Amino acid sequence: MNTCEVFYNKNISFVIANVRGIMNPPISVIARSLSRERQRSGLSLAEVARRAGIAKSTLSQLESGSGNPSLETLWSLCMALDMPFARLLEEEQSEVRLLRRGEGLAVNSGLANYQAILLANCPPGARRDVYSLHVQPGSDRLSEPHLPGSVEHIILVRGRALVGLADSPVELNPGDYLCYPGDLRHIFRALEPDTEALLIAEHRG
């Protein structure tokens, strides 16, 4: 699975916010990651831009640390480079990492009242990314299929939510756990205000 897909919706743009100085400004992190992963792939700027369906100048700007990329652009680049979204946010971290409530790198939806905070991305050799979800009723979070082999785990912490495959979601209450294929269309619908959950995105294959 590619963690990028966790937040994909072709009509949604996101703002990635730096919180309490825990991480460097996200655009600089993304710029370094894009450059690193493109060079690792051996692909040129032009080829990656072509595969992602964006202008070469746009990719060049992103690698130089300028611009305000939409989720669609980042998603396309993740797919073009065959990498999980969380890798865009990777930086060196100490073995002990403390995040108080509300801290972390937040990703906000432009259409739904939906915020995900990246708590832990997967280091080399690991296969899971962990997110804290903060969701309000009113707009469904409908996700298109992710990469083959994707699996998602949800633990509801607060409120109530309808979660799972788009054609057969399950109502969850606090403490409930649900695992479902991420490579099929799936949904998260908050049924109460201030619904919170933990999402573990697993990459298999």
Number of domains in the chain: 2
Residue type, 154: I
Between these two residues, 85 and 96, which has the higher pLDDT value?
85
| Domain containing residue 76 | 23-89
User: Which CATH number belongs to the domain containing residue 177 in this structure?
Assistant: 2.60.120.10
As given in the structure block, the two tokens for residue 3 are 């963690």
pLDDT in the model for residue 86: 72
Residue 8 resides in a domain: no
Residue 1 resides in a domain: no
pLDDT in the model for residue 158: 96
> Which tens digits make up the pLDDT trace of 150-203?
888 899 999 999 999 999 898 999 989 988 888 889 999 999 999 999 999 987
pLDDT in the model for residue 15: 37
Whether the pLDDT of residue 23 is over 50: the answer is no
How far are the Cα atoms of 22, 63, 102, 146 from residue 94, in angstroms, in the given order?
12, 25, 20, 30
pLDDT in the model for residue 24: 39
Handedness of CA 98, 99, 105, 109 (dihedral sign): positive
Are residue 125 and residue 160 in the same domain, yes or no? yes
User: Which CATH number belongs to the domain containing residue 31 in this structure?
Assistant: 1.10.260.40
Residue 38 resides in a domain: yes
